[in-house]
DNA sequence: ACCTGAACACCGTTCAAGT
DNA sequence: ACCTGAACACCGTTCAAGT
């Protein structure tokens, strides 16, 4: 009984569009990637994209969810390592998504769906950061401000690539300076 | 002898285009502002813009220089105030240029002229930050990393507007925590 | 030297028409 | 339900033509 036939195929094709868009948005950029290029890469017609997604922004949200899901799954494997290493690993892992970060910042104020995704994302990152800094011994009174600084520093490191050495120095200072006597000659 | 007539007029018209573009790029956004809208606001034809500027990116660079010059002139008046206040003032003053920050980050990798402007800008900001943190008593060994954290935090505060109170908490923690016994009950 | 109107290639999106 | 070709309004930019 092929009554509800091939919901498989539909999901597969949708995934193929998301994967093609993810690659292009990440490596080339959102503004630099036309819907026609995405369609070609996914093996469909330009207009077909609009059968699966309301507009280009909706496709971007699907890409962001796709990328975030994979990154979170990987991050879970590192949750037992020292706090500084976890932050450093996150920066390493996310650096290639620099272009996605910029486009989210650029479109969040003008696209409701991207704005909502951005807010949700920061809620998630904030909650992870709070836990990390608390475990690292940051006093409760400084925890909120320290979390914000942590998020800003990670974002900054993504946007302004540094040498491995400089990156490590920044993260060490960030995660270590509130613990007494942690280096500095 | 009107041999070299009206270099005044030329500079005036150029300035008018830059001013119109500055307002629109700042309030509406770079991608959201067409060259036609800029031309209309400046009282010229679209193609006239291309007599004064090589392309839209060159106009953006002129806008960035224009805005930066004004901000630096104002900043000079505050150079004697406490370090935390100076940083807080800068965040306050620059918040309205959030859209310019995003577009510079978005276009720096793909436009050589924007990339060059971005590098130059960070050299300037870095040198100001280093002096501030050194005077505030940050040890020489942490100065480079601390400067980067400072720049990232200022950028983060620009991109993610906070309440006056939260902003102050972040900047206080940033500028104060390396000085011994500066609060936190 | 300075400015313009017409044109070019491209963009995201819509929609009537097909299966 | 799913997909398409043709068309729409708009974009940044070019260029021959005017003064």
In chain B the domains, ranked by start, together with CATH numbers, are: 1-53 (1.10.10.60), 55-181 (1.10.357.10)
| Contact status of B107 with chain A (Cβ, < 8 Å) | no
B27-68 pLDDT, tens digit per residue, is 999 999 999 999 999 999 999 999 999 999 999 999 999 999
Q: Is residue A147 pLDDT above 90, yes or no?
A: yes
Nearest residue to A20 (alpha-carbon basis) of A52, A73, A63: A63
Other C-beta atoms lying within 10 Å of the C-beta of residue B125: 16
Strand D: which residues have Cβ below 7 Å from it?
A 7, 10, 13, 44-48, 50-52; B 33-37, 46-47, 50, 55-57
Can you give the pLDDT at residue A182?
Answer: 39
| Closest-CA distance of chain A to residue B27, Å | 11
Asked if B121 contacts B65 with a C-beta cutoff of 8 angstroms, the reply is: no
CB contact under 8 A, A102 and B102: yes
CA separation for the pair B150, A132 (Å, rounded): 21
- What is the structure's pLDDT at A1? 37
CA dist., res. A55 & res. A112, Å (int): 12
Tell me the torsion sign for CA atoms B118, B124, B60, B96.
positive
Dist CA A116 CA A119 (whole Å): 5
Dist. CA A93–CA A91, nearest whole Å: 5
Contact status of B149 with chain A (Cβ, < 8 Å)? yes
Say whether B149 and A174 touch across the interface (CB within 8 A): yes
Task: Give per-residue pLDDT as tens, B161-182.
Answer: 999 999 999 999 999 854 433 3
Measured between alpha carbons, how far is B13 from B16 in angstroms, rounded to an integer?
5
Chain mean pLDDT for chain B: 91
Question: What distance in Å separates the CA atoms of residue B97 and residue B168, rounded to the nearest whole number?
Answer: 19
Residue B27 touches partner A, C-beta closer than 8 Å: no
């Amino acid at each position: 009984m092929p009554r509800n036939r091939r919901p498989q195929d539909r999901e597969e094709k949708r995934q193929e569009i998301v994967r093609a868009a993810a690659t292009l948005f990440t490596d080339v950029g959102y503004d630099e990637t036309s819907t026609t290029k995405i369609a070609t890469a996914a093996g469909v017609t330009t207009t077909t994209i609009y059968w699966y997604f309301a507009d280009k922004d909706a496709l971007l949200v699907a890409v962001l969810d796709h990328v975030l899901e994979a990154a979170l799954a990987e991050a879970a494997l590192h949750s037992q390592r020292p706090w500084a290493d976890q932050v450093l690993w996150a920066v390493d892992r996310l650096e290639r998504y620099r272009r996605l970060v910029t486009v989210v910042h650029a479109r969040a104020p003008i696209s409701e769906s991207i704005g909502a995704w951005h807010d949700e994302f920061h809620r998630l990152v904030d909650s992870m950061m709070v836990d990390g800094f608390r475990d690292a011994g940051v006093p409760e009174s400084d925890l909120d401000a320290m979390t914000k600084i942590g998020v800003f520093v990670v974002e900054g490191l993504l946007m302004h690539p540094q040498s491995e050495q400089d990156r490590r120095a920044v993260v060490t200072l960030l995660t270590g300076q509130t613990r007494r006597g942690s280096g500095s000659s």
